[in-house]
Amino acid sequence: MAQLTKNITISELIKQISQLFSEADLYYGHGTANELDEAAWAVHHVLDIPFGCPQAIYQEQVPEQAFDAVQKLAVQRIETRKPMAYLTNKMWFADIAFYVDERTLVPRSPLAELIQTDFAPWVDMSRVTSALDLCTGSGCIGLALATYFPEVHVTCSDISKDALDVAAINRKALGLDKRVKLVESDLYQNLETKKFDLIVSNPPYVAQAVVDALPEEYQQEPDLGLASGEDGLKHVEVILREASDYLTEDGVLIVEVGLSEEALCLAHPQLAFIWLEFERGGEGVFMLTAKTLRDYYSKG
């Protein structure tokens, strides 16, 4: 591994770290798309520099202690192949900083854009008072929803107690203990609230064979949060089939299924999915109303 040069500016250090990452052939996708952004993340984290800071800051010299810490973090990233979010215990979702570790997936859902744009034009959030985040993981979707919509009471459920422990850390940090309920539940099984105006979910949706072939960075994440049977539809099939029992009369279901979109459409050719589009990237997110679901499943 090439040696970094000391007594350099912040800008130069980012470039050197970027070169190290490039030579190490890392895989990205947990908040960054390339080695330069990943290097910037490492440097910003250690030096505690906010993104969007004045450009002049990048011409400042890097203190020796900080230089050593950045180098250590870069080496960890290369040698362990762990996503940077796990090494820094931080990830942003809907412009909110969340604590993350290996007990949950790294937040990266396009549902953040929906939350930040008030779910328009798909949901009238002024009429939503209760929401459910199924398979909540770190709690990022449900907690972001509660942050952006102070009148909404949110239930976050997950089958993993470990994941809910992480969600509890984030709930406390955001001051949402009174308005967000955490429930250990296999999908709908243990829910106390029976009707929600909005159900959102980023469930496991990857076929097991695909999970097994993922890059090493993704292998660091809990399999429980990724794999969903042979076709990637094990969880979403249950979510679809039972959703109308947990939605209010005019309730809405929004679910991310990623690259399993095609398989889901083939499995349900008569179900009128509304597939959402995103300005900031992302795919495989559908919306269905409670009425559409009731009509579809009542026909057998």
pLDDT, one tens digit per residue, over 47-95 is 999 888 899 999 999 999 999 999 999 999 999 999 999 999 999 999 9
Q: What is the mean pLDDT of residues 188-203?
A: 93
Average pLDDT of the residues of the chain? 94
Domain locations in the chain as residue ranges:
10-88, 91-298
**Is the separation of the CB atoms in 193 and 132 below 8 Å?**
yes
pLDDT at 258 over 60: yes
Answer CATH for 91-298 from 3.40.50.150, 3.40.50.720, 3.30.1360.10, 1.20.1300.10:
3.40.50.150
pLDDT at 1 over 60: no
Predicted pLDDT at 3: 65
pLDDT, one tens digit per residue, over 222-249 is 998 999 998 999 999 999 999 999 999 9
Predicted pLDDT at 282: 86
pLDDT, one tens digit per residue, over 111-152 is 999 999 999 999 999 999 999 999 999 999 999 999 999 999
Beta strands in the chain (DSSP E): 91-93, 96-98, 130-134, 153-158, 180-184, 196-201, 247-256, 274-275, 285-289
Burial of 88 (0-12, 13-18, 19+ CB in 10 A): middle
